[in-house]
Amino acid sequence: MTQGTDADTATDRATALAPALDTDALLDDPGIRIVVCCGSGGVGKTTTAAALGVRAAERGRKVVVLTIDPARRLAQSMGIDSLDNIPRRVSGIDGESAGELHAMMLDMKRTFDEIVEAHADGERARAILENPFYQSLSAGFAGTQEYMAMEKLGQLRARNAWDLIIVDTPPSRSALDFLDAPKRLGSFLDGRFIKLLMAPAKMGGRAGMKFLNVGMSMMTGTLGKLLGGQFLRDVQTFVAAMDTMFGGFRTRADATYKLLQAPGTAFLVVATPERDALREAAYFVERLAAEEMPLAGLVLNRVHGSDAARLSAELALAAAENLDGVGIVDQTAGKAGLRDPADWSVVSPEAVADPDPSEHEDTEDREPDPEPAPEVATRTETVTEDASVEQLTAGLLRLHAERMQVVAREQRTRDRFTALHPEVAVTQVAALPGDVHDLAGLRAIGHRLATGSTPAGAA
């Protein structure tokens, strides 16, 4: 792989190989009805989804953003800090031809409850909602959030009230969970064991099922002992109550899955230029391909760049060391170190020869003093100013060297991804110094997404 000084070559290669992802074209395409943002935890999925939502709305589309677990201040900035499971219109969307932005935060338990209420009559629905297994499953099953996110997506799409749905995916232990969970819950609820639990009697008459039946009673006996008799009775009640809904779950899970494969859907894999995040992104890209789901490209968040990229880390560090030594050099050599006499002439040799610049740090504060000072004082100030400029400049150079090391490291990480998946279009979002929690910030991110705002020096 490329190392250190090869970074420039690597940059050229990556630029040549990875096509640019045009997010505006994606958001403007009326054929695109669903954009799914996925990726591992902590890479900025929610912020990306929200920023795309703001941008799409301001470019004229009627958008709803479905977020799963937004940071509080981000949610507040969009006016969705109440967990009511209903899309709310976001105010403050600007632009001459602006559309609308709506946003909602998923409440997985309520979504589950709503499905039960919609598909079972009053008596049965109540039996399900009160069952301890239902309560446990609806609030805590590792895949429930993923399943309900997909369920909600299906519902929003079915309402057909928006022309673009942007969905954030749950903060799963693995980015792949959100594809697997709906199927897992579906096959679980549809599973062999549940069928056995529900209807052992049905199989009694069939010779081939005799063994199963024996196994069954042994098993329920064992599980009953292990978990307590009530456990199995509750399970059986739950399963019996859910019976009528199994078909529905299965059908909707399949429908949502097909929706995700449809041409109107686009997946954006979100990552940061770090090893783990890009490894997850690579898995995800492979998985989407295997599932025949349409990948639009990779959003690379928090990419560092530098407008001073022509100054390498090595040169910056060497220059910083030169400056550290300047005081000493000049003490002995006077003006020998000067290379820019025109600008330099204001400083006297005595000034350069200050033995310990740090002692004068306090006088620094007086620098803006507009009063004409006596001759001696002026000279002292010049000394101080100049000495700390050396320190300051050395500091700037070291900071720059660190930045360039980060840029090079991110580039190497990205190169590895591009080498594996040269076909994946990429847009980069330059790192911001702080968190984003207002529409203006989201707008800025949206702009960076659109321009691919390739930070200088980072491809």
Partner 1 sequence: MSRFQVVSGKGGTGKTTVAAALALALATEGRRTLLVEVEGRQGIAQLFETESLPYEERKIAVAPGGGEVYALAIDAERALLDYLQMFYKLGSAGRALKKLGAIDFATTIAPGVRDVLLTGKACEAVRRKDKQNRYVYDYVIMDAPPTGRITRFLNVNDEVAGLARIGPIHTQAQAVMRVLKSPETAVHLVTLLEEMPVQETADGIAELRAAELPVGRVIVNMVRPHLLDEDALRTAAGGRRKEIARALTRAGVTGSAGLVRPLVEQAAEHAQRVELEREQREVLAGLELPGHELPLIGEGMDPAGLYDLATELRKQGVGDGVGEGVGQGVDT
Considering only residues 383 to 422 of the shown chain, the ones binding partner 1 according to CB under 8 A are: 385-386, 388-400, 402-403, 405-406, 409, 413
Reference 285, options 263, 260, 264, 268; nearest CA is 268
Quick one: 391 or 453, whose CB is closer to partner 1? 391
CB of 438 to partner 1, least distance (A): 13
CB of 347 to partner 1, least distance (A): 9
CB-based contact 170:66 (threshold 8 Å): no
Rounded-to-integer distance, Cα 453 and Cα 10, Å: 19
Rounded-to-integer distance, Cα 267 and Cα 120, Å: 34
CB-based contact 168:45 (threshold 8 Å): yes
Quick one: 255 or 396, whose CB is closer to partner 1? 396
Tell me: does residue 133 bind partner 1 (CB under 8 A). Answer: yes
DSSP H helices, 175-312, are: 177-189, 192-198, 200-204, 210-227, 229-261, 275-290
CB of 138 to partner 1, least distance (A): 10
CB of 430 to partner 1, least distance (A): 10
CB of 435 to partner 1, least distance (A): 4
CB of 448 to partner 1, least distance (A): 15
Tell me: does residue 42 bind partner 1 (CB under 8 A). Answer: yes
Q: What is the footprint of partner 1 within residues 139-158 (CB under 8 A)?
A: 140-142
Quick one: 170 or 446, whose CB is closer to partner 1? 170
Rounded-to-integer distance, Cα 104 and Cα 86, Å: 6
CB of 337 to partner 1, least distance (A): 6
Q: What is the footprint of partner 1 within residues 183-222 (CB under 8 A)?
A: 184, 188, 191-194, 196-197, 212, 215, 218-219, 222
Tell me: does residue 300 bind partner 1 (CB under 8 A). Answer: no
DSSP string covering 387-404? HHHHHHHHHHHHHHHHHH
Using the rule CB under 8 A, which residue among 49, 101, 269, 323 binds partner 1?
323
Q: What element of type H or E holds 309?
A: none
Hey, is 100 helix, strand or coil? Answer: strand
CB-based contact 231:222 (threshold 8 Å): no
Rounded-to-integer distance, Cα 414 and Cα 395, Å: 28
Single-letter code of the amino acid located at 432? L
Sole window of 51-59, 244-252, 371-379, 434-442 interacting with partner 1 (rule: CB under 8 A): 434-442
Sole window of 54-62, 85-93, 117-125, 228-236 interacting with partner 1 (rule: CB under 8 A): 228-236
Using the rule CB under 8 A, which residue among 85, 213, 237, 322 binds partner 1?
322
CB-based contact 74:436 (threshold 8 Å): yes
Sole window of 59-67, 87-95, 286-294, 338-346 interacting with partner 1 (rule: CB under 8 A): 338-346
Reference 141, options 101, 175, 170; nearest CA is 170
Rounded-to-integer distance, Cα 267 and Cα 288, Å: 8
Hey, is 169 helix, strand or coil? Answer: coil
Q: What is the footprint of partner 1 within residues 366-385 (CB under 8 A)?
A: 385
Reference 272, options 408, 424, 399, 431; nearest CA is 431
Tell me: does residue 290 bind partner 1 (CB under 8 A). Answer: no
Sole window of 24-32, 75-83, 91-99, 322-330 interacting with partner 1 (rule: CB under 8 A): 322-330
Chain centroid to CA 205: how far? Answer: 55
Tell me: does residue 286 bind partner 1 (CB under 8 A). Answer: no
**Cβ neighbours for 5, distance < 8 A, ≥ 6 positions apart:** none
Count of residues near partner 1 by CB under 8 A:
92
Reference 338, options 354, 322, 360, 315; nearest CA is 322
Taking residues 230 to 249 in sequence order and writing x for each that binds partner 1 by CB under 8 A, - otherwise, the string is: xx--xx--x-----------
**Cβ neighbours for 171, distance < 8 A, ≥ 6 positions apart:** 41, 42, 68, 69
Tell me: does residue 345 bind partner 1 (CB under 8 A). Answer: no
Sole window of 5-13, 102-110, 244-252, 307-315 interacting with partner 1 (rule: CB under 8 A): 307-315
CB of 88 to partner 1, least distance (A): 22
Quick one: 229 or 422, whose CB is closer to partner 1? 229
Q: What is the footprint of partner 1 within residues 64-83 (CB under 8 A)?
A: 69, 71-73
Quick one: 19 or 132, whose CB is closer to partner 1? 132
Output the six-digit token pair for 23.
């997010």
CB-based contact 238:244 (threshold 8 Å): no
Hey, is 95 helix, strand or coil? Answer: coil
Sole window of 9-17, 156-164, 252-260, 318-326 interacting with partner 1 (rule: CB under 8 A): 318-326
CB of 65 to partner 1, least distance (A): 18
Tell me: does residue 41 bind partner 1 (CB under 8 A). Answer: yes
Q: Specify the DSSP class assigned to residue 68.
A: S
